[in-house]
Structure 1
Amino acid sequence: MVTSGQEGDPFADAMREAVGTSVQAWRLMMAVADAVRQQRRRQRQKGKGEELPPAGKAVNEFARVIRNLLPPDISAALVGGSDWPMMAQQMAALRRAGVDPDDVLPRLAEVAVTVRDSLAENAARVSREGTGEWERMLRETLPAGPVREAILSSPTWPDIAATMARLDERGVDVRQILASAYNVGVGVDQAVARVLGADEAPVASRDAMLSYGPLTTGLDLPRDLDLSDRERALRQLAVSPWENQRYTRWMLEAMSGREREAGLLLAARQWPLLAARMAQMEGEDKPVREHLAHLLKDTSWEQGPGPQLGSRLVQATNDALRRPLGEAGTARAKVNPTAARSQSVSLNPTQRQATAKSTAPAESGAAPHRQASGPTPNRKKTR
């Protein structure tokens, strides 16, 4: 059973995420089973509408079944979900269609438990070996890009972290070793790119070019930024899953009572950039949550067309994070006109790309926002 743990504890967060994923796996398998049942029913009874069994009886009956089949953490998350009544009806419908729950549900339970355990394995190992701190050192020492992303996404990361811990215990400068390893990694990446026929110095991605401006000033922006893949984008921007969960919680707290607007903001394509800004502020020991409180003190983002509300919220959040706490609510971050034109809907994609390229400095292989050299300060938790 998963214990609640302290708020912000990476291991506890990892276990909660693993349980949530196992519940999603169960829901997916149930959806597939129900789809098959409905397809067979349509073939047999064309033109007849479907009536699911009553929810009340099914909810209580199958809740007992689920609690007997699954560990307490998964069963509690499953039965406590808002879609549980409908899922119980689906199980009852399967039984009414001739499917034996005692045959199907144990197989679903086995998969759900396997998913939970496999996701939690690495987090448990890192926590047990005390190597969690090395992920932070890696993110602070190496610049964002394919080398750092490859290390953190590798299945061997726990072994790498454990090696770093052992070297540190023996008095080795681990940061210096990482810097050397980074140079080796860059060489390997370029060599493989040549073999594959790729350019040695690829042009900045469309997401990177369109992000140049107030939203990313001062951030370590990777040239191959991919905002279409949120998990990868967060890795590229050096925001760990635990940090992202924390920033999501802070945003919901800051927008208390405005859940719809908070949802639009969290679903925005640019959310990883805002999370990276918060991570940077934590590293500088700035009170992130106090800055976020500006969002409900200055609600000028409400003004404008409804479809653009999410975009205005992204800009307003970035303004709130960059604005000094003592500054008046009407102040706004200065806009780079050239960068703004590169994002204008009045320009076609080719024109925007050319405009965005013209804003980049002529430095080989360096993103325009890498303004500082050397390791970034340690990130501290904002209380």
Structure 2
Amino acid sequence: MATPAQGEPFAEAADEAVQIAAMSVRLVMAVADAVRRHQQRRKKGGEEELPSAGEAVEDAQAALKDSLPQDISVALTAGADWPQLAQQLMALKKAGVDLEQLLPRVGDIAVTVRDQVIANGMLVARERAGAWERTLRETLPAGPVREAILSSPTWPDIAATMARLDERGVDVRRILAFAHDEGLGVDHAVAKTLVAGGAPTTSRDAMLSYGPLTDGLDIPKDLDLGDRTRAFRQLSISPYENEGFVRLVKETMPDREREVSLMVMAKQWPLVAARMAKMESEGKPVKEHLAGLVKDSSWERGQGQLGSRLALATAKVLSHPPGEVPPAGQLKVSTRAARSQSPTVGPAKARVSKGSAPAGPGVAAHRQAGSGVKQAKTR
């Protein structure tokens, strides 16, 4: 995901963190000033007058220069209450407080607050972006448009925009469906201009994956499992989601951490994660299905790499009732999966029976007449 410096929403979040850090400085100084006033009332029967604002501002700016980070210092001096804060600082100095000792400690507190706010904001942003990646997976078919959205440098901004629209009651899924059709037109037009050829041919990874690993999944014909980052992007799996799926398997097999790590590193893992994501979107208990791995030890023996065997076994238990041991046997190519990924019937098109009208070129199966666009709001 993007850093706070990339994109308007993240820049706003970073600015907010600095403002909150400045607020923490004001809080500490207000407490220190209250203690000064209280002590003077007790010892002298009254408070000493504050220095003039003009003199205090100039002296306070010099005191802050080497004690606080520049961004926090600028936020403080730009505030409407800066003259009052400057007077408090100079009053503390006049009362005997060593600002060269106090201000660096205050600066450390402010930096901690700023960094904590930024970290929390990034975590929330990742969670929200992950939720919108799930929305893309559920709304848009695998293909060039969906991958273009997720691979765009402006994806964090796109996700933030969708979140703002959703908060205002706008049907974001409907907009995405329209944008998908328009995006296909743009993709074809640009490809034609660049002489990029026609529709992409089915990749070797997609062909070799036909079977239990992909049966029922929406995968692009140009699936690239050799590039893991791109594979997750093509399958609309966010890093946050992937971490959660890895954690689920580790919790299911606590004594097999090495084997689980080998599976996660295996080439087939993105497809296993995609199946878990699909099950979660359908409300199915992924963890209960994974419990079948404890009963099925057939993956420990056989040909091929251990991680790949465990990935295939995991795909099998995810496709069977929770806790049930899938029947043993040779994995076969799924004709349904192969047919759905064929050059003539891509993942973004539905097979049309005789006598029924096609939904139109490039329209996803789940968006044909009668299915409609989901109206559920996604946060």
Quickly name the TM-score band, shorter chain normalised. 0.5 to 0.7
Could you tell me how far 1:331 is from its partner in structure 2? 5.4
Q: Is the 8 A contact 2:245 2:276 kept in 1?
A: yes
CA distance in 2: counterparts of 1:297 and 1:372, whole angstroms = 36
Letter in 2 for 1:373: H
Aligned partner of 1:154 in structure 2 is: 152
Paired residue for 2:139, among 118, 138, 141? Answer: 141
Q: Is the 8 A contact 1:283 1:378 kept in 2?
A: no
Q: Is the 8 A contact 1:209 1:357 kept in 2?
A: no
TM-aligned CA distance change 1:365 to 1:141, over 3 Å = closer
Aligned partner of 1:317 in structure 2 is: 314
CA distances 1:215-271 after superposition (whole Å, capped 9, x unpaired): 101001111111011111011111111110011111222222222221221111010
CA distance in 1: counterparts of 2:349 and 2:134, whole angstroms = 22
Aligned partner of 2:366 in structure 1 is: 373
Local SS of the residue matching 2:211: coil
CA distance in 2: counterparts of 1:282 and 1:182, whole angstroms = 24
Local SS of the residue matching 1:282: helix
Q: Is the 8 A contact 2:237 2:274 kept in 1?
A: yes
Could you tell me how far 1:321 is from its partner in structure 2? 0.7
TM-aligned CA distance change 1:378 to 1:198, over 3 Å = same
Aligned partner of 2:344 in structure 1 is: 362
Q: Does 1:126 align with 2:119?
A: no
TM-aligned CA distance change 1:368 to 1:297, over 3 Å = farther
TM-aligned CA distance change 1:379 to 1:325, over 3 Å = farther
Aligned partner of 1:350 in structure 2 is: none
Aligned partner of 1:293 in structure 2 is: 291
Task: Say how many residue pairs are matched.
Answer: 248
Aligned partner of 1:41 in structure 2 is: none
Aligned partner of 2:232 in structure 1 is: 234
The equivalences for 1:11-30 within 5 A come to none
Paired residue for 1:202, among 194, 200, 203? Answer: 200
Q: Is the 8 A contact 2:272 2:315 kept in 1?
A: yes
Aligned partner of 2:267 in structure 1 is: 269
CA distance in 2: counterparts of 1:228 and 1:167, whole angstroms = 36
Range 154-163 or range 295-304, more displaced: 154-163
Range 143-152 or range 158-167, more displaced: 158-167
TM-score (norm 2): 0.56
Q: Is the 8 A contact 1:207 1:225 kept in 2?
A: yes
Local SS of the residue matching 2:305: helix
Could you tell me how far 1:174 is from its partner in structure 2? 1.9
CA distance in 1: counterparts of 2:125 and 2:145, whole angstroms = 21
Could you tell me how far 1:308 is from its partner in structure 2? 3.4
The equivalences for 1:6-155 within 5 A come to 123=122, 126=125, 133-155=131-153
CA distance in 2: counterparts of 1:152 and 1:234, whole angstroms = 10
Q: Which runs of 5+ in 1 are unaligned?
A: 1-10, 12-115, 341-355
Bigger radius of gyration among the two: 2
Q: Is the 8 A contact 2:145 2:180 kept in 1?
A: yes
CA distances 1:46-90 after superposition (whole Å, capped 9, x unpaired): xxxxxxxxxxxxxxxxxxxxxxxxxxxxxxxxxxxxxxxxxxxxx
Could you tell me how far 1:184 is from its partner in structure 2? 1.6
Local SS of the residue matching 2:366: coil
TM-aligned CA distance change 1:183 to 1:296, over 3 Å = same
- Alpha carbon RMSD of aligned pairs, Å? 3.9
Aligned partner of 1:67 in structure 2 is: none
CA distance in 1: counterparts of 2:209 and 2:152, whole angstroms = 27
Range 137-146 or range 365-374, more displaced: 365-374
Range 172-181 or range 158-167, more displaced: 158-167
Percent of matched pairs sharing the same residue: 58
Could you tell me how far 1:205 is from its partner in structure 2? 1.3
Could you tell me how far 1:124 is from its partner in structure 2? 6.0
Local SS of the residue matching 1:220: coil
CA distance in 2: counterparts of 1:338 and 1:185, whole angstroms = 30
Q: Which runs of 5+ in 2 are unaligned?
A: 1-9, 11-114, 352-362, 368-372
TM-score (norm 1): 0.55
Aligned partner of 2:219 in structure 1 is: 221
Could you tell me how far 1:360 is from its partner in structure 2? 2.7
Letter in 2 for 1:300: S
Local SS of the residue matching 1:373: helix
Aligned partner of 1:177 in structure 2 is: 175
Could you tell me how far 1:322 is from its partner in structure 2? 0.6
* Runs of 4+ displaced beyond 4 Å: 119-122, 130-133, 331-334, 337-340, 356-359, 367-372, 375-380
CA distance in 2: counterparts of 1:146 and 1:133, whole angstroms = 20
TM-aligned CA distance change 1:144 to 1:217, over 3 Å = same
